[in-house]
Structure 1
């Protein structure tokens, strides 16, 4: 049994734009949420890169990381992640090198190999990009070199960036990044908050293949967890209807802003929609403190995770802060 108080808590924020709200509102809510996470002792606060999506305001991820880091004191702030196919490694190294100089010891660079958007938008981001399977491993290693100490004869220097040794994390929802993280001796975060199907297989492969590196002596695993906590199971399920609407929009290609909760929303869905949403949120934990503790304990036992990265899509900003506080309390109870 994995003691829950040995699992660190962190937060992944998509910076949802709420129905009836503005982008400025979403950014302000993100700052308040990060400050709450810091107050509750969370290890890190990550922001996700997505593009061309009307309900997500975290597309300029590095800019937002700087804003959040400037509004907090000690919590680590980073990307969950930067979608590397969209960017040249040198540009990423310079951006995160700058952040590392502004906020020493507080910046994380999580990397994903998906574009984080549709093909048309990806071409708009990098118009001449012709991607191959070898690109991501090569780009990750190039970033490691650019953020590491300068070597004699090195022709391209990231300035700022070189010598900052910004911690690199690999993110994934399949086996590819698990194997690469193991090969390079990097920490690994599995995106089970939206793609839980291969979670256990990926973690087993990562741990089995892991090679110690100069930066990491043993495997380190983050598991993404959708969480909505409330004083009662009934209220938590009501609040979760905002998440259910978001997931349904993703599955049907009808992405919108984060919608207010709807009474009895789940019961109004047909069996096929319920099954699809349940599959998407398979590791999610929704309920009162007791339900939360039981669900998180089971997930800790099943995955032996070092850290849970929470995703909490609650429409009401104050109730979202409460959800995080109840979750932190459940982890320590």
Structure 2
């Protein structure tokens, strides 16, 4: 059986408030747990009115407290925005409150624009320390060594599982070198997917965390009652990405009929390529598209994203996907 998980950005739908988005996240997590999802991950973004998960560790704690079994985590924390010790303490606290349920995925991107990145990172000087920071953070979760001077309390000895996230070969190479599980951001940046998966699997070095590579594939899913509704639900995310490409960040747009009447053809082709790792339509079409992706990439786990404007339609889409993947395994 291939485990399947949820990636939730706490999207703020047009016409709704941030409090609605946070409530929707809890509702989705509870429904996802009930139908067999393995993990529920949230992602760090900043200065984006359409995404409510900026304080990611706070939201993870809230969702973990509203669920019982499912693993809850970050997909991911943008580590260059933070000191490793601070993240170790935050996720060590979460792991102490919710034992064996917390995951920590780490990304290298800022999760925002350049101006906001400067507001987050007061000191922008110096070389890229991402590999060293990852190793420092991982060590803070382990049992202490005699010579260790800095400790994470809470955090030390919690052994929080650390994942590396990426959309390029850099993350694949680092995850393979460190022997960590790897999740590729194919749901919005699929250009290097094939090569990154190959690099990760062929250069993986066994570690105390993993004896063989573990690869998670991110897929956008928009499952409706039929193919037309699936395409209709998908149109909100297509519009959002088209707007971001021209520097307009807003709430998640309402879906539209005939997306080609609302986005310039050249822009639409570019957006569709960016969102090409996708399954949309009715149940049969979604099942076929998911199967094609599984056969092509042979992932160890799937993580599903789907920014759908209406929360009930969104929950239904994730339920349909869970039914398809559970039936496939059976």
Same fold (TM over 0.5): yes
Across the aligned residues of Structure 1 and Structure 2, the Cα RMSD in angstroms comes to: 1.0
Task: State the partner residue of 1:41.
Answer: 36
Once residues 41 and 216 of structure 1 are traced to their aligned partners in structure 2, the CA distance between those partners, rounded to angstroms, is 24
Q: Determine which of 37, 45, 48 is the counterpart of 1:53.
A: 48
1:24 corresponds to 2:19: yes
Task: State the partner residue of 1:69.
Answer: 64
- Residues 93 and 143 of structure 1 are in contact (CA less than 8 Å); yes or no, is this contact kept in structure 2? yes
- Residues 242 and 268 of structure 2 are in contact (CA less than 8 Å); yes or no, is this contact kept in structure 1? no
**1:212-262 deviation digits (Å, cap 9, x = unpaired):** 111111110111111100110001111111111111112222111011111
Once residues 44 and 51 of structure 1 are traced to their aligned partners in structure 2, the CA distance between those partners, rounded to angstroms, is 23
Task: State the partner residue of 1:8.
Answer: 3
Q: Provide the secondary structure at the position in 1 that maps to 2:91.
A: helix
Q: CA deviation at 1:265?
A: 2.2
Task: State the partner residue of 1:261.
Answer: 255
**1:153-177 deviation digits (Å, cap 9, x = unpaired):** 2110000011111000000000001
Q: Determine which of 201, 207, 222 is the counterpart of 2:216.
A: 222
Task: State the partner residue of 2:180.
Answer: 186
Give the aligned length: 327
- Residues 241 and 266 of structure 1 are in contact (CA less than 8 Å); yes or no, is this contact kept in structure 2? no
Q: CA deviation at 1:271?
A: 2.1
Q: CA deviation at 1:131?
A: 4.9
Once residues 240 and 262 of structure 2 are traced to their aligned partners in structure 1, the CA distance between those partners, rounded to angstroms, is 15
Task: State the partner residue of 1:302.
Answer: 296
Q: Determine which of 191, 198, 208 is the counterpart of 2:192.
A: 198
Task: State the partner residue of 1:132.
Answer: 127
**1:63-108 deviation digits (Å, cap 9, x = unpaired):** 0000000000010000000001100000000000000000000000
Once residues 100 and 282 of structure 1 are traced to their aligned partners in structure 2, the CA distance between those partners, rounded to angstroms, is 35
Task: State the partner residue of 2:103.
Answer: 108
Q: Which runs of 5+ in 2 are unaligned?
A: none
Once residues 79 and 37 of structure 2 are traced to their aligned partners in structure 1, the CA distance between those partners, rounded to angstroms, is 26
TM-score (norm 2): 0.97
- Residues 85 and 131 of structure 1 are in contact (CA less than 8 Å); yes or no, is this contact kept in structure 2? no
**1:89-131 deviation digits (Å, cap 9, x = unpaired):** 0000000000000000000000000011112111211211325
- Residues 235 and 259 of structure 2 are in contact (CA less than 8 Å); yes or no, is this contact kept in structure 1? yes
- Residues 181 and 188 of structure 1 are in contact (CA less than 8 Å); yes or no, is this contact kept in structure 2? yes
Once residues 321 and 140 of structure 1 are traced to their aligned partners in structure 2, the CA distance between those partners, rounded to angstroms, is 34
- Residues 242 and 263 of structure 2 are in contact (CA less than 8 Å); yes or no, is this contact kept in structure 1? no
Q: Determine which of 248, 251, 258 is the counterpart of 2:245.
A: 251
Q: Which runs of 5+ in 1 are unaligned?
A: 1-5
The more displaced of 265-274 and 310-319 is 265-274
- Residues 16 and 56 of structure 1 are in contact (CA less than 8 Å); yes or no, is this contact kept in structure 2? yes
Q: Determine which of 140, 148, 155 is the counterpart of 1:146.
A: 140
